[in-house]
Amino acid sequence: MMFNWNYMLSLLSDADFWQATWTVIKLSLLTWGCSIVLGFILALAKQSPRRLFNVPARLYIWLFRSLPLLVLLIFVYNLPQAVPSFAVVLNDPFWAGLLAMVLSEAAYVAEIHRGGLLSIAKGQGEAARALGLRYGGTQWRVIIPQALRVALPALANEYIAIVKLSSLVSVISLTEILMVGQRLYSQNFLVMETMAAVAFYYVLIVTVFDFLLKRLETWLDVTQRKTNRPVDADMLALATAARPAVARSVIDSHQPALQASKLHKAYNNVEVLGAVSLQVQPGEVVSVIGPSGSGKTTLIRLLNGLEQIDNGEIRINGQPFIHLERQGVQKPRFMENAAHRLNIGMVFQSFNLFPHLTVFGNLLLAPRYHRLAAEAELRQRACELLYKVGMLDHAWKYPHQLSGGQQQRVAIARALMMRPQIMLFDEPTSGAGPGKSQRSASGYRIAGR
């Protein structure tokens, strides 16, 4: 029996096939999009230290990764027999298929997202927290954009798998590509020709969307972007015309700006800091000097709440910032007044700039989040600070395009954007070589004003 090329080619313009192709595209895109959103929620819940969140997430992922999609499709489609009120939606094969596929795919996508989240450096979340971003803001503005870029190749591969798995939805009578082909060859018995046409439509969908997803991946990759954008005259005018800004108003000038009392911190029952107390007056500069491993960084991290104290109290302008609340025989509860976090700026040893944002974007992220001022005023403040630390010409570059000393100056400017009363520097000279120390020192002088 000869292969009927004319018949096969005629199927490439068949209206039923094209309608079924559109159905597959809608089903696969909706499944992919919903699974990405639900998968992120599951991934974040699975990583949560609270059992209330991570246990249900683990159970969900375990269950739906164990169930074959075909079994889930049949179960969901027949669910109205047990719950008649579901018939309004689930009697439609499209919506029943969508629900079953989302339930199944979300479990797989959650593990993809979890890998992306684990790849993000811990310092990114700490930098966001030091800038006063809450959990939701940190995830949405800092962590998720970076994790999504890391996970995109695997997510694109998962979309292709979803397109092919959509053929299983024909078992609940959805008119998709495979069902159209089955109806045709059951009438004329031209199985090979019909299946060749079916294969064409699947290959077409995968090819088009694979191309689009690769373009998206390239667009999201900031390391491939060319940033030759010069600083325009308007930005230079903003920088040179800006007036020096004052810090946040002090509640009581007679109180120490920062006061720590009997701070204790231990790791695995090994005491790192024991009964450390200090007071820093407004305008005072204090250097903490000691050998490596003596707890200098730990002390700084305790002062702005990046590490939880085991005992003691921290006050800002005489007001409680961090303390432990005793609850009888139970473990003391860590308490923090988050409003005071905005009064403390921090420059990390590794700088922890946000790699998905430009230098200008790094400075504007937190002030925009907290709505500290109008947009025009924030941009003026950012231009002023970048000009003062000698980084205005690099405003549109990304952190990976900067040297260590340049990144440090941007980190100083980013912290100063919040107008803090107190600045903390972890190893302030670590990123500046002899030729760059003068620029970094200018940043420290600005911070001390």
pLDDT band at 182 (very low <50, low <70, confident <90, very high): very high
pLDDT band at 407 (very low <50, low <70, confident <90, very high): very high
Q: Which DSSP letter does residue 373 get?
A: S
Burial of 264 (0-12, 13-18, 19+ CB in 10 A): middle
Residues 6 or more apart whose Cβ sits within 8 Å of residue 296: 288, 289, 290, 426
Q: Which DSSP letter does residue 194 get?
A: H
Q: What is the rounded CA–CA span in Å between residue 409 and residue 402?
A: 10
What is the per-residue pLDDT across 56-108, written as a single tens digit (0 to 9) for each? 999 999 999 999 999 999 999 999 999 999 999 999 999 999 999 999 999 99
Angle at 227 between CA 224 and CA 228, to 5 degrees: 135
- Residue 346 phi/psi, 5° resolution? -140, 135
Confidence (pLDDT) at 436: 54
Locate tokens 């373009």: which residue?
A: 215
Average pLDDT over all residues of the chain: 89
Give the range with max mean pLDDT: 110-114, 214-218, 228-232, 290-294.
Answer: 110-114
Q: Which DSSP letter does residue 232 get?
A: P
**Is pLDDT of 248 > 60?**
no
Confidence (pLDDT) at 2: 84
For residues 427 and 391, the answer to whether their CB atoms sit within 8 Å is: no
pLDDT band at 22 (very low <50, low <70, confident <90, very high): very high
Tell me the fold of 258-338: Rossmann fold (3.40.50)
Confidence (pLDDT) at 238: 76
What is the per-residue pLDDT across 185-220, written as a single tens digit (0 to 9) for each? 999 889 999 999 999 999 999 999 999 999 999 888
**Is pLDDT of 19 > 60?**
yes
**Is pLDDT of 177 > 90?**
yes
How large is the angle between the packed helices 93-119 and 69-77, nearest 10 degrees?
Answer: 140
**Domain boundaries, given as residue ranges, for the chain:** 5-220, 258-338, 343-447
Average pLDDT value for residue range 4-27: 95
Confidence (pLDDT) at 290: 86
Q: What is the rounded CA–CA span in Å between residue 172 and residue 70?
A: 10
Concatenate the DSSP letters of all residues of 119-187 into one string.
HS-HHHHHHHHHTT--HHHHIIIIIHHHHHHHHHHHHHHHHHHHHHHGGGGGGGT---HHHHHHHHHHH
Percent of the chain at pLDDT > 70 equals 92
Residues 6 or more apart whose Cβ sits within 8 Å of residue 17: 11, 177, 180, 181, 197, 201
133-to-138, 282, 370, 422 alpha-carbon distances in Å: 6, 25, 8, 18
Q: Is 261 helix (H, G, I), strand (E, B) or coil?
A: strand
Q: Is 347 helix (H, G, I), strand (E, B) or coil?
A: strand
Q: What is the rounded CA–CA span in Å between residue 55 and residue 67?
A: 19
**Is pLDDT of 166 > 60?**
yes
What is the per-residue pLDDT across 328-379, written as a single tens digit (0 to 9) for each? 677 888 889 988 889 999 999 999 999 999 999 999 999 999 999 999 999 9
Confidence (pLDDT) at 432: 54
Q: How far is CA 104 from the centre of its chain?
A: 24
Q: What is the rounded CA–CA span in Å between residue 267 and residue 302?
A: 13
Q: What is the rounded CA–CA span in Å between residue 350 and residue 352?
A: 6
Cβ neighbours of 348 (radius 10 Å): 23
Structure tokens at 372: 């500290």
For residues 100 and 149, the answer to whether their CB atoms sit within 8 Å is: no
What is the per-residue pLDDT across 101-137, written as a single tens digit (0 to 9) for each? 999 999 999 999 999 999 999 999 999 999 999 999 9
Question: Top-level CATH class of 5-220?
Answer: mainly alpha
C-alpha closest to that of 259 among 237, 231, 280: 280
Structure tokens at 263: 């701070």
Does 258-338 match 343-447 in CATH topology?
yes
C-alpha closest to that of 228 among 89, 334, 132, 358: 358
For 343-447, CATH gives 3.40.50.300
Q: Which residue has the higher pLDDT, 392 or 435?
A: 392
Average pLDDT value for residue range 427-448: 59
Q: What is the rounded CA–CA span in Å between residue 181 and residue 191?
A: 8
Average pLDDT value for residue range 43-55: 94
